[in-house]
Amino acid sequence: MRKRIPLPFIPVLIAAILSLPASSTGQTPAKAKIKIEKEKQLVLDWLSKPETVERFGKISDAIWEYAELGLQEFRSSKLLADTLEQAGFKVERGLADMPTCFVATYGSGKPVIGFLGEFDALPMLSQKAKSTTQDPIVAGAPGHGCGHNAMCTAALSAAIAVKEAIDKYGLPGTIKVFGSPAEEIVASRPYMVRAGLFKDVDAVIDNHSGSGLGTGYGRGGNALFSSIFSFKGKTSHGASAWSGRSALDAVEIMNVSTNYLREHLPLSYRMHYVITEGGEAPNVVPDKAAVWYYVRNTDERLEEMYERVINCAKAGALATGTELLPIRVISAIHQTHSNKGMAELLQKNIDLVGMPAWSDEENAFAKALQKELKAAETGMPTKVDTLRAPSGQETGGGSSDVGEVTLIAPTATVRFPGTIPGSISHHWSTVACTVGTTTWKGLNAGAKVIAASAVDLLTKPAELKKIRDEFDAYIQKYPYKSFLPADAKPPVDINETLMNKFRPLMEKAAEIKK
Ligand SMILES: [Zn+2]
């Protein structure tokens, strides 16, 4: 057994942080010489209050504990939507045929500035807070391995800060928080766009938890089809299988075919699958089997590649004498096209806000986790990042359904330090560190950048016009057309069985901890 580092637990850190002067609870002081407009100063001051950092930190920690999978985020979504409603926002829930999707609105008229916010967890990543070794709370249960617990929380705290400025200074315009479920299965934004939720939005600020404070622009990530291929065969005794037709064989032949296909695809592709249904016992020929594919490529190459994958499925059915059932498209999304003008505006406010000041305890835990992961033992980051330009290389990578929004309105993403450098995304190490005071401060820094940038957009029409002009020229070149088939529906059932299995166990564990 590996020895665990005995670190003070969260309540001790909370007590410590609240006893410090205000300048130590949030970010390093903004550069003294820069003149900050009074509206912007108000949102920064409001977010700097220790009670604000704690209030939203606790929301992030609660969502971390709920750890709900995509489209099962009933408690997380309710907590976020209720908080916005109590702050005076008008909240519409259950939008775009997704019970956990919501939009919260404050203010009136133009411009309309949108904030994106995610809150879903990943399967199999349950992990104790602030543990430097893999140690699940409930083995096999979901966990927040991508920091989404802190993300809608960052958007929400920024929105409430901007509301304060709207109220005090009578700023024109509207703020909207787009509560976006199921990002881990990239399954909400294409349906939210299809439902017209973004139709009046002038600009959008997205955020993502990471280990630095930064932003970037340009085209990135991969477009994606997420689809389930199901086959229907004929069951029989496994020992007299000549009278059966195995649906599992069809899945296997499809997979062999797609694995040969890889050789003949451009390097921009990514393709992976899990078999979700494949029979129950070797002595019964499976008459049902299914495989879930992620097919990823550039916007231009995606549909052609997807057609070739469908041909592999047809080959599996033909070879085995089984039937390929109607393909279920879970989601289909574009690459991310981040707006340069918006990213430049975010960067100015990133430089203004600066990196949070970390305590000795926070740095000690970061180094202990980094040591365990054999990462550079640098502790927490000390400097903000510089503006990231597109790499220009299209050699595959991950995907985000934020891509859909970037083609509907000018959008860029703030990355904030919600995790520890060296922690691994979609891995227990991120779950272990995306909770407690480092995350509180990180999401608060992100919220300051979002709120300050939104104030700029509300008060400087020329800034917004520059961003809009860039966007209008861009979509002449890349007009938006959804990849979703007309009959595709949000996969509200896809995580239901798994969540129902673990929810009572997770709630019981949380109860015992209290
Ligand atoms: Zn993520």
| pLDDT band of 513, cuts 50, 70, 90 | confident
| Nearest CA among 201, 199, 148 for reference residue 175 | 201
Listed in sequence order, the residues at least 6 apart from 512 whose beta carbon sits closer than 8 Å to its beta carbon are none
Q: For residue 73, how far is its CA from the centre of ligand 1 (angstroms)? A: 15
Q: How many CB atoms lie within 10 A of CB 287?
A: 18
Q: For residue 171, how far is its CA from the centre of ligand 1 (angstroms)? A: 32
* Distances from the Cα of 419 to the Cα of 168, 184, 369, 443, angstroms: 34, 17, 11, 10
Q: For residue 297, how far is its CA from the centre of ligand 1 (angstroms)? A: 19
Q: Is 393 a residue whose pLDDT tops 50? A: yes
Strand blocks (E) in 221-287: 223-232, 270-277
Contact 222, 471 (CB under 8 A): no
Q: For residue 118, how far is its CA from the centre of ligand 1 (angstroms)? A: 8
Q: For residue 269, how far is its CA from the centre of ligand 1 (angstroms)? A: 20
| Nearest CA among 484, 480, 499 for reference residue 226 | 484
Q: For residue 451, how far is its CA from the centre of ligand 1 (angstroms)? A: 21
Q: For residue 39, how far is its CA from the centre of ligand 1 (angstroms)? A: 31
Q: For residue 231, how far is its CA from the centre of ligand 1 (angstroms)? A: 32
Least confidently predicted of 30-39, 163-172, 183-192, 249-258:
30-39
Per-residue confidence (pLDDT) for residue 445, from 0 to 100 = 98
Q: For residue 419, how far is its CA from the centre of ligand 1 (angstroms)? A: 12
| pLDDT band of 33, cuts 50, 70, 90 | low
Per-residue confidence (pLDDT) for residue 394, from 0 to 100 = 79
Residue with the larger pLDDT of the pair 35 and 225: 225
Per-residue confidence (pLDDT) for residue 397, from 0 to 100 = 84
| pLDDT band of 409, cuts 50, 70, 90 | very high
% pLDDT > 70, the chain: 94
Q: For residue 146, how far is its CA from the centre of ligand 1 (angstroms)? A: 5
Q: For residue 186, how far is its CA from the centre of ligand 1 (angstroms)? A: 10
| pLDDT tens per residue across span 285-322 | 999 999 999 999 999 999 999 999 999 999 999 999 99
Contact 44, 31 (CB under 8 A): no
Per-residue confidence (pLDDT) for residue 20, from 0 to 100 = 37
Q: For residue 208, how far is its CA from the centre of ligand 1 (angstroms)? A: 7
Average pLDDT for residues 495-514, to the nearest whole number? 93
Q: For residue 400, how far is its CA from the centre of ligand 1 (angstroms)? A: 8
Q: For residue 196, how far is its CA from the centre of ligand 1 (angstroms)? A: 24
Query: Which residue stretches of 354-436 are H helix?
Result: 360-372, 402-406, 428-433
CA-CA distance, 181 to 361, in Å (whole number)?
A: 33
Scored b (16 or more CB within 10 A) or e, 433-466 reads bbbbbbbbbbbbbbbbbbbbbbbbbbbeeebbeb
Average pLDDT for residues 461-470, to the nearest whole number? 98
Strand pairing of 173-180 and 112-118?
Answer: parallel
CA-CA distance, 497 to 199, in Å (whole number)?
A: 34
Q: For residue 398, how far is its CA from the centre of ligand 1 (angstroms)? A: 10
What average pLDDT does the chain have?
Answer: 93
Per-residue confidence (pLDDT) for residue 32, from 0 to 100 = 53
The residue whose two tokens read 């097919």 is 295
